Amino acid sequence: MIGTRGLFVPGPTNVPESVRKAIDVPMEDHRAPDIPDFILPLFADLKKVFKTETGQVFLFPASGTGGWEAAITNTLSPGDRVLAARFGQFSHLWIDLCQRLGLEVEVVECDWGTGVPVEIFAERLAADKEHQIKAVLTTHNETATGVQSDIAGVRRALDGARHPALLFVDGVSSIGSVDFRMDEWGVDLAVSGSQKGFMLPAGLAIMAASRKAVDLSAKAGFRRCYFDFKDMIATNATGYFPYTPPMNMLRGLRASLDRIEAEGLETIFARHHFLAEGVRRAVKAWGLTLCAKEPKWYSDTVSAIVVPEGHDAKKVIARAYARYGLSLGAGLSVVAGKVFRIGHLGDLNELMLMSALGGAEMAMRDVGIPVVAGSGVAAAGEYWRSASPAVAMAAE
């Protein structure tokens, strides 16, 4: 088709022109004498995004799933017990990874559309008098259902029970887009990926580990090589990597971090909330609902929109792509065919989201979903006209 396709899946996100240009450079010597002058500031600036002063930052050539595996294998041992909740596809996949690695996973089953059950976690941790639970796994933003969870609340639950378990956070679709406070929340392992809020192609697992987690890596019982913290720490300290790094991606990361610093993290968080609220106004105007069951669960990076009973969300997605050149996120697993998703994270503004809302609206009408023409676009537009990111954030 003529024109640019609209990419509104919740990752990969749009790559800004400045980042694409930074990636598109000739190959270079990754062991050149001046490489540390480039690499070491990357680590320092990534710590600002994670909001940690004492944590250790890691960059593995991998996806977020590789980051999960690195977090587990560097801090735990086969047979260890971990506590996790299943409330969406990505929280499920992290549980599945742990089980495949030989961990004993204490799973709390939750409704898809809710988030981390802080109260239940508090009860389980308080009851674990012998501290058999070695880690608590939390998904900050469940991308499959558009649910955002209270990580600070999980830390309070751990502290209230005086429990020494590690706090792991999947921040793949949250870090760099919504507020995340590693040190303040006492997070021990935080995992993100390059293709979401960092506005890069997929290919980097971006992680941070607390001093407690790093110290435990010397005692962890899993065998590891590629994902070994020890090798990374030793070589990263000198500004290099233990194996060939993806230098083009690192050049892109530099450009991304420069954009993040220029806009400012707090401004980025306010912008994401502002844009997300406009999408939520559109959904309400359509007469539809979100998969997230209550406002406290609403995600500021992705909205999962429930289609009416008797309709198939897959048809909406297929029509949007084939007729209007619009990529919407599909429903996964339990919510397959029940929802379509609009990603609103990364390099994004109101006009870009208007195209997503307009395309989704036309696609829904084309497949027989009875939404009023222009209703969602109008509701979002009126909100964005009358509000501002800073005011919208302060009102919450």
pLDDT tens string, the chain, 396 residues long: the values are 678 899 999 999 999 999 999 999 999 999 999 999 999 999 999 999 999 999 999 999 999 999 999 999 999 999 999 999 999 999 999 999 999 999 999 999 999 999 999 999 999 999 999 999 999 999 999 999 999 999 999 999 999 999 999 999 999 999 999 999 999 999 999 999 999 999 999 999 999 999 999 999 999 999 999 999 999 999 999 999 999 999 999 999 999 999 999 999 999 999 999 999 999 999 999 999 999 999 999 999 999 999 999 999 999 999 999 999 999 999 999 999 999 999 999 999 999 999 999 999 999 999 999 999 999 999 999 999 998 786 555 555
Contacts 24+ apart (CB under 8 A), 159-165: 159/186, 160/122, 160/125, 160/126, 161/122, 161/125, 161/126, 161/128, 163/125, 163/126, 163/128, 163/131, 163/133, 164/131, 165/83, 165/125, 165/131, 165/133, 165/134, 165/135, 165/136
- At the topology level, CATH places domain 17-262 in Aspartate Aminotransferase; domain 2 (3.40.640)
Q: What is the pLDDT of residue 388?
A: 78
How remote is the C-alpha of 153 from its chain's centroid?
18
Burial category of 351 from C-beta neighbours within 10 Å (exposed 0-12, middle 13-18, buried 19 and up): exposed
Q: Compute how many other C-beta atoms are within 10 angstroms of the C-beta atom of residue 4.
A: 9
Distance CA 325, CA 317 (A): 10
Q: Enumerate the CATH 3.40.640.10 domain ranges in the chain, comma separated.
A: 17-262
Locate tokens 């105007």: which residue? 285
Q: What is the pLDDT of residue 391?
A: 53
Q: What is the pLDDT of residue 4?
A: 86
The reported pTM is 0.95
Contacts 24+ apart (CB under 8 A), 27-34: 27/247, 27/248, 28/247, 30/240, 30/241, 30/244, 30/245, 30/247, 31/240
Helix/strand/coil for 246: coil
Q: Enumerate the CATH 3.90.1150.10 domain ranges in the chain, comma separated.
A: 264-395
User: Which CATH number describes the domain made up of 264-395?
Assistant: 3.90.1150.10
